[in-house]
Structure 1
């Protein structure tokens, strides 16, 4: 399994801790870069640092929500190729349609039970660690 650099865009500290705890529990080698909202994430992505392998994006955030971030990302010449997976509590059909129409890679609803969450994250990261990723 190759090590992934994951950009987590999430404003809820508990959710950030939950993902870090899950990766630690599963003994995965992945690196997480944490940003609190879409604006911070775009600043990071537009800096000269290395790009992440995948983005995990929450929808409900202050300043710039997930859908607004996705719209900017998918119109950028280079950043539009970054696999972006929505990780949210929203099961609203409109949110899903908006995300898929903007070109999101996947849409996962956060399960309430921690064990179910761990299982989903494990499968998600297992897939992306074997998938061929574009490096620009």
Structure 2
């Protein structure tokens, strides 16, 4: 017969493991990892320190029209991105194709980011542009 201590120990272990698995699952898609969040299809989220530049745009009190325009700019910039999934088939993996796709993504990333920033900056009002400069200067001072 199983002793009471073993049953209690098993229940505690199961509870701890269940809690750990739940905490590690993708329920919040990584959005509560400290201060860092990401751009989603619906909203701009702040990402701290060395994160995405667009988090600072949230502090500019953008109008809903500006938000929509910037969202569209970002979505359009992502349309041409190849997926690494193209390197996989049902039963094989093409290492050369994968390397080529990753290399192209890396090469195009900075150019694409610069274009997105340029187009997004053009949408800002003069007051927002001034505020952006102040925020960037403050951020630079903190580093």
Structure with the largest fraction of helix: 2
Larger Rg: 2
Bigger relative contact order, structure 1 or 2 (CA pairs below 8 A, ≥6 apart): 1
TM-score normalised over the length of structure 2: 0.27
Structure with the largest fraction of strand: 1
TM-score normalised over the length of structure 1: 0.28
